[in-house]
Amino acid sequence: MTNSKFSKPTESEMGILQVLWELGPSTVREVHYVLSETKDSGYTTTLKLMQIMYEKGLLNRNDEAKTHVYSSAIKKESVQKQVVSKMINGLFKGSSAKLVMHALGNHHASKEEIQEIKEYLDSMENDGNVKKKSDSKK
């Protein structure tokens, strides 16, 4: 369940989301005002970005009034979680599997080498240090 029905927000989109998370439902002008503190792009840039985000489903908006009010459609926590877990995963993902790939990626994997790797895997099993997800085996 790596949910995320939403395409990962871009850098600028993150900036907008962060403002909205802090301010709550806001107009483009309000968001742009905050953003303009640290960034110098024009008002229509922010507007366009927010329109795109709305289309993508990243933002909700209330357009009953002339001036639309936007709010984040995704929870800060979920993005936080995503960022953190991505980091953890990215920084240390495969453990032992990597050794194998390292070996395979380089030489052209002769039968002998494959055999060698198999033995390596066997020895790992004997250590009870396996970490595979599928341990069906029967």
Partner DNA sequence: TTTGTTCTACGAAAGTTTTCGTAGTTAAAG
Partner DNA sequence: CTTTAACTACGAAAACTTTCGTAGAACAAA
Contacts with a copy of itself by CB under 8 A lie at 14-15, 18, 21-23, 26-27, 29-34, 37, 76, 80, 83-84, 87, 90-94, 98, 101-102, 104-106
Partner that binds at residue 83, options a copy of itself, DNA, none, CB closer than 5 to 8 Å by kind: a copy of itself
What is d(CA 103, CA 1) in angstroms, rounded to the nearest whole number? 31
Q: How far is the CB of 66 from DNA (least distance, A)?
A: 4
Instruction: Tell me the residue length of the chain.
Output: 138
Q: How far is the CB of 91 from DNA (least distance, A)?
A: 18
Q: What would the DSSP string read from start to end of 81-138?
A: HHHHHHHHHHHS--THHHHHHHHHHHS---HHHHHHHHHHHHHHHHTT----S-----
Nearer to DNA, 12 or 21 (CB): 12
46 and 35 in contact (C-beta within 8 Å)? yes
Q: How far is the CB of 57 from a copy of itself (least distance, A)?
A: 21
| Site residues for DNA per CB under 7 A | 7, 10-13, 27-29, 39, 41-45, 47-49, 51-52, 63, 65-68, 108
What is d(CA 105, CA 99) in angstroms, rounded to the nearest whole number? 10
